[in-house]
Structures are given as C-alpha cells and as structure tokens.
Amino acid sequence: MKIALINENSQAAKNAVIEEALKKVVEPMGHTVYNYGMYTAEDTAQLTYVQNGILAAVLLNGGAVDYVITGCGTGEGAMLALNSFPGVICGHVADPLDAYTFAQINDGNAISMPFALKNGWGNELNLQYTFEKLFCEESGKGYPKDRVVPEQRNKKILDVVRENNFKSFPELLDGLDADLVKGALAGEHFQELFFENATNEVVIAKVKEILGL
C-alpha cells in the first residue's frame, strides 16, 4: 500500500515526528510512505487544511497513493475538507480505538488527526499505536462481528449516495480558485512523487494542465 502523509501549516513542525512514527509501524508491514509535506513551518509552499483536501483528492483519485494520513490542529477542518471530494472517505481519528473502528466499520481511505490536541508526553506512542490499529488487518471486516452484515451493507449504500452527489473528478477542480489549487500542488516534492506513482491518466493530464507542464 502507498500511504501519503500531508501536514498543513499550523502543524508542519511535527511532520518529521509523524513520519517517523508512521514509517516505524507500516514499513515492516510492507507499505511505503510518501511524505508530501509540509516539512517545516518555514516551507515556501504553505498548505491550509482546505488545500490538504485538494491535495489528498488529487493523490487518491490519481492513483498516486492508496491512503492518506493528514490532520490539522483539531483534525476537524482537514476531515471536512477531505470529505468534500469524491473518491475520499476520511475519518476523524484521535486514538487507537478510533483508528480500528473507522477502518473496520467505515472502510475509508484517509484519516485526519488532531495534531495539536493532547500533544504532550506519550504523543509519539499514541501515533504509533494509532497507526498500528489502523493497518493491523484488512479494513472493512466489521466490528463487532455480529454487526458485520449491516455495516458492510451501509458502506455500500454510502458509496452509492456519494457517487450520486459529487461532481466528477478532476473536472470539479475547474470550479475552484486556480491559485488555491496550484498552491495545494506546489509542495517541494509533489511533482516528483505524484508523477512517479500516479496511474489515472485523466487526473495526470489535469494536474499537468493546472501546473502548466
């Protein structure tokens, strides 16, 4: 699995700590982490949590990654931003229990974490334990076991509702402020990582158009 890490500007200083915890957990499982920044609070390309949503949608719909780890101060803004796009199901995950139940019940492809809250002693352990429970087994298997059938049925219903309600991607990018979108794709390593891994030719073409390539 290809897993992207995205940090917005208010929590950019924690990027290295989050990346270290994520890699420590998922690389032994055979997954690969792609760090899309922000890498420091002083990065030239500054991401807002709204741009986290744009970037995550481009990566997931473009086939560049299979999963996105992101967040903001509370985790709420980034979650709302990501869920504003088709092809993205993002849960608000603060701890290992959140991670496990979101993965098993909701079977999403992104999480948003509250990187500013309860960020004291043991935070690196909470990150590790949370990532462990997020990826410890195949997602969508249901929890508790006597709720598997209705949970999986409801997830399929939700997928149909979302498909009906969203505009197609990436055409919807045309309706957004151009500078907002360009800023979301302006990260230091975006082009290198995206074009190396993306598989959806329609999204790739749209990204090239946006970037003037």
Q: What CATH number did the domain enclosing 140 receive?
A: 3.40.1400.10
Model pLDDT for residues 34-74, shown as the tens digit of each residue:
999 999 999 999 999 999 999 999 999 999 999 999 999 99
Measure the CA–CA gap between 72 and 179, rounded to whole angstroms: 21
Measure the CA–CA gap between 160 and 212, rounded to whole angstroms: 34
Model pLDDT for residues 94-148, shown as the tens digit of each residue:
999 999 999 999 999 999 999 999 888 888 999 999 999 999 999 999 999 899 9
- Quote the tokens at residue 149: 């059938």
Range of the structural domain that residue 96 is part of: 2-211
Q: How many separate domains does the chain show?
A: 1
Measure the CA–CA gap between 57 and 180, rounded to whole angstroms: 14
Measure the CA–CA gap between 116 and 174, rounded to whole angstroms: 33
What does DSSP assign to residue 112?
E
Residue 136 main-chain phi, psi, to 5 deg: -70, -20
- DSSP letters for 124-137: HHHHHHHHHHHHSS
Model pLDDT for residues 171-212, shown as the tens digit of each residue:
999 999 999 999 999 999 999 999 999 999 999 999 999 999
Give the residue from 36, 10, 76 showing the smallest Cα distance to 196: 36
